[in-house]
Amino acid sequence: MPDAETKIGDWSLLFVQFPGRDLEALGILLLDPSTNELLIKLGDLPHQDEEIEQIWQLLPEHILQQSREFGGAQALSSFEKTWSNTFQVGDRHKISIRNPQDTLTDLFREHIPTVLSVGTPGDPSINPRITRDDLLKARKRLPRSPLVAGEALRAIRSERHSTEQIGDIISEEPVLAAHLIRLANSALYQYRAGEVRSVVEAINRLGTNSVERQIVSACLRPIFASVELRDVWDHSIDVASVSGQLSVLLRHPKPEEAILVGLVHDIGRIVFASLDHSSHEQPAPQGNEGCPLHEAEQKRYGISHPDVGADLLADWNFPPDMVEAVRNHHHPQGSTAMLCSALHLAESWIEDNEDVWKMSDHAYALNTTKLSPRYFRSLKLGTDSELESLRLSA
């Protein structure tokens, strides 16, 4: 029986009817009874149809608007009765809800086909060459340090681990341990008296927020140092800088989380770079091939770096909203989380060659954050000394 904190809500599949094909379940609708809000999470369209794609991009905002105006229950009933043949709502199902966003994400993963399985046999537009086993093998080829990072991050986020236990985990990677001690004794912290001589002392001096950031960056930076990924690391630092500014502007209670998610938002590209391409027909996409990189990856592999990265961060015990932000930072309309829209805006502000940003995504993110275009244009790359210290030397 559900406890006092759990509510019973309704959820439904959202189906799409492509011309000449059977109905395909590509989205989840969740009615949160505690707020009478209708939440939505959409997958990627597996087939090319310009008209459906245009509606698909606008659909989340339309549903959220109807939910705000009429209430989630009435909006869902209306969609069930009046929607077109192209978009259809399935039967309602009951579910226990403690955290609506977590429930929505769990339902999506359970019932919506992943990009590895979309399409139909013989469909020339979808030809996956990368399997889940390939991705798992690629992750195993990552250096030991990211594995230590995952263990350390899980320990930091767990109330059951003491500072001494966290220090013991970090000490398993001597390079990482030395980095934290060196940073704690650096000019950045010269106002603190006494010399730091252990990992535990370094953690106490730096604070867990800074330690989290340093763990991730110290473990990832050597991998990003390759010619293939070096620019991606610089880009990640820039995104982290802008994400931090946005979080302050939006009065996010933990700006350091926005900075951290900016640093790791492209971590999926490390896994792609670790693939054994000798067993596949083509190497990984390396740049803009006539479409955004994540779309090129999806067309070639059946999965893109945001999904690969989000799965890795989930295994590293990152908070669900961070995982969701990384998974949807190219498609913020797939999430209602403020952190996701802020990350999308930060990356679009950087305006590198990785992406071609859709105006509908940009408008949705601005609307979600309630950020005016004027404030957005006023942002500048920050001068965070600690962040800049993470940048690769020339």
Residues 95 and 212 in one domain: no
Strand bridging mode 87-89 / 93-97: unpaired
Residues 104 and 142 in one domain: no
Q: 3-class secondary structure for the chain?
A: CCCCCCEEEEEEEEEEECCCCCEEEEEEEEEECCCCEEEEEECCCCCCCHHHHHHHHHHHHHHHHHHHHHCHHHHHHHHHHHCCCCEEECCCEEEEECCHHHHHHHHHHHHCCCCCCCCCCCCCCCCCCCCHHHHHHHHHCCCHHHHHHHHHHHHHCCCCCCHHHHHHHHCCCHHHHHHHHHHHCCHHHCCCCCCCCCHHHHHHHHCHHHHHHHHHHHHHHHHHCCCCCHHHHHHHHHHHHHHHHHHHHCCCCCHHHHHHHHHHCCCHHHHHHCCCHHHCCCCCCCCCCCCCHHHHHHHHHCCCHHHHHHHHHHHCCCCHHHHHHHHCCCCHHHCCCHHHHHHHHHHHHHCCCCCCCCHHHHHHHHHHHCCCHHHHHCCCCCCCHHHHHCCCCC
Residues 96 and 143 in one domain: no
- Domain final residue pick, 62, 80, 113: 113
Q: What is the pLDDT of residue 36?
A: 93
Of 61-75, 146-160, 176-190, 368-382, highest mean pLDDT: 61-75
In a domain, 78, yes or no: yes
In a domain, 35, yes or no: yes
Q: What is the pLDDT of residue 108?
A: 87
Residues 185 and 219 in one domain: yes
Residues 207 and 338 in one domain: yes
- The tokens 């009765």 sit on which residue? 81
Residues 94 and 231 in one domain: no
pLDDT tens by residue, 48-63: 677 788 788 888 888 8
CB 343 within 8 A of CB 362: no
Arithmetic mean of pLDDT, 131-141:
69
Residues 265 and 162 in one domain: yes
Q: Is a pLDDT exceeding 70 seen at residue 192?
A: no
Least trusted range by pLDDT, from 156-160, 208-212, 386-390: 386-390
pLDDT tens by residue, 281-320: 444 555 544 567 777 777 777 788 898 888 887 776 677 8
pLDDT tens by residue, 318-328: 778 888 999 99
Arithmetic mean of pLDDT, 239-243:
87
With pLDDT > 90 as the criterion, what percentage of the chain qualifies?
A: 8
Q: What is the pLDDT of residue 326?
A: 92
Residues 150 and 53 in one domain: no
In a domain, 1, yes or no: no
Q: What is the CATH number of the domain that holds 319?
A: 1.10.3210.10
Residues 53 and 171 in one domain: no
pLDDT tens by residue, 7-47: 899 999 998 887 767 778 889 999 999 999 999 998 887 77
pLDDT tens by residue, 245-277: 888 888 876 777 788 888 889 888 877 877 765
In a domain, 119, yes or no: no
- Domain final residue pick, 78, 113, 148: 113
Q: What is the pLDDT of residue 214?
A: 81
pLDDT tens by residue, 62-117: 888 888 889 999 999 988 887 777 888 988 999 989 889 888 988 888 888 654 33
Contacts made by residues 314-322, CB under 8 angstroms, sequence distance 24+: 315/150, 316/149, 316/150, 316/153, 316/154, 317/150, 317/153, 317/154, 317/157, 317/158, 318/153, 318/264, 319/157, 319/257, 320/99, 320/101, 320/102, 320/105, 321/101, 322/257, 322/260, 322/261, 322/264
* Residue type at 109 in one-letter notation: R
Least trusted range by pLDDT, from 87-96, 107-116, 125-134, 377-386: 125-134
Residues 41 and 169 in one domain: no
In a domain, 312, yes or no: yes
In a domain, 61, yes or no: yes
Domain that includes residue 209, residue range: 135-389
Residues 108 and 205 in one domain: no
In a domain, 340, yes or no: yes
Residues 98 and 230 in one domain: no
Count the domains in the chain. Answer: 2
Q: What is the pLDDT of residue 29?
A: 94
Least trusted range by pLDDT, from 154-158, 259-263, 268-272, 375-379: 375-379
In a domain, 329, yes or no: yes
